[in-house]
Amino acid sequence: MAATDNGPIKMRGAGYYSEHTQGAKLVIDAAIPLVLAAVEKMDLFAASPFAIVDYGAADGGTSLALHHALIAAVRARTDRAITVTHTDLPHNDFSALFRLLHGLLPGKPGLGLEAPNLFSFASGTSFFRRIVPDGALNLGFSATAMHWLSKLPATLADHVHAVGAKGAARAAFAAQAAADWETILLARARELAPGGRLVLANFCTDENGFYLGWTGARNMHATFAEHWLALREAGAITDDEVRRATFPQFYRSVAEFRAPFDDPESAVSRAGLRLEDCFTRVTKCPYAAAYAAGQPPSAFARAYVPTLRSWSESMFFGALDPARPEDERRAIIDRFYDAYEADVAAAPEGHGMDYVHCFLTVAKTV
């Protein structure tokens, strides 16, 4: 399971995740033409249900529109049953996921995923393992999840993310990311039926060297590091807590994503996976766009920082010494994000979290 020594990775629950991640939904919406093109290429005349799996789905809110489009495309060509399995790690808020899928989340009545002859499942098994039986997958989808590594290969003394790592530490992250990518693909190779497809929208480092939160203006990860190190300067956290605050993540390059496919002798190629499509795309930060359109700085800061918090909070919280009382840890975390918010409100120019993705379509040939 992907976890740090600092406790479980999890998005904030009770629907907070999809409420505060408009950008992630825009990324998934951009993948809709890819899943429709993938279905178009498939032979749908099997007797078994058409099986869709969404890997690392969080509360499921951001991919609802994609699943509606995908189910409609399959249904237009066949009456066979369709299954959708949402997966995530065990600590995910699956209750929020089920409420969302059944249209029961407050404020979102009727906005679920229900259709005739559609069967909904969920799995708390990590995508580093097989989640469905061999040959039982037709269309696998995943967005913004596979940058999480199976383990933290190094800790950083002066940064919080591999984008700021150098030398041996950086090499350790790259090696872990390559091994994890192969593990993920080999598990999917077992799951996919012949002719099945994977459509993946994975965070990456693109051809310009850009990555999430860095497209040439303020660097989000550097800003995280600045505010976390400032807590140490202020005596609020220890050296150990600085080191432990390292994301178990890596933004692979296009070459790193392609490597197992470009080598015909690789285990992935020999398992029958072929890369059909691979391109990068920047999705502009919707919060920064609202500020550029005239939103006051304080309102921008209040809307923007929660989107960072939705996915980063569990890592920073887990880095704090568990011997501290829970209230004290919560207060430190609030102070950290409040400082980030005050920074954005005081000097909003250049802040933003542009998403940088590599979109891949992979086919199973044998």
Ligand X SMILES: C[S@@+](CC[C@H](N)C(=O)[O-])C[C@H]1O[C@@H](n2cnc3c(N)ncnc32)[C@H](O)[C@@H]1O
Nearer to ligand X, 21 or 253 (CB): 21
Nearer to ligand X, 144 or 205 (CB): 144
Comparing CB distances to ligand X, the nearer of 203 and 340 is 203
For ligand X, the closer CB: 237 or 313: 313
Strand partners, 356: 282
Q: Which of 199, 237 has the CB closer to ligand X? A: 199
For residues 250-268, b (16+ Cβ closer than 10 Å) or e, as one string?
bbbbbebbebbbeeeebeb
Smallest distance, ligand X to C-beta of residue 252, A: 14
Binding mask 301-340 for ligand X (x = CB under 6 A): ----------x-----------------------------
Residue choice 35, 145, 169, 363 for contact with ligand X (CB under 6 A) = 145
Contact at 8 Å (CB) between 204 and 251?
A: yes
Q: Examine residue 2 and tell whether it contacts ligand X (CB under 6 A).
A: yes
Token code pair at residue 54: 């969404």
Residue 235 contacts by C-beta under 8 Å, 6 or more apart in sequence?
A: none
- Whether residue 355 contacts residue 212, with contact meaning beta carbons closer than 8 Å, is answered with yes
Q: Is 11 in the site for ligand X (CB under 6 A)?
A: yes
Contact 111, 64 (CB under 8 A): yes
CB of 22 to ligand X, least distance (A): 10
Q: Is 244 helix (H, G, I), strand (E, B) or coil?
A: helix
The residues that bridge with 358 in the sheet, in sequence order, are: 202, 280
Instruction: Report the residue closest to ligand X, judged by CB.
Output: 56
CA distances from 273 to 132, 149, 200 (A): 17, 21, 14
Question: Does 144 help bind ligand X (rule: CB under 6 A)?
Answer: yes
Residue 56 is a binding residue for ligand X (CB under 6 A):
yes
Binding residues for ligand X, rule: CB under 6 A, are 2, 9-11, 21, 24, 28, 55-58, 62-63, 87-89, 92, 126-128, 143-145, 148, 311
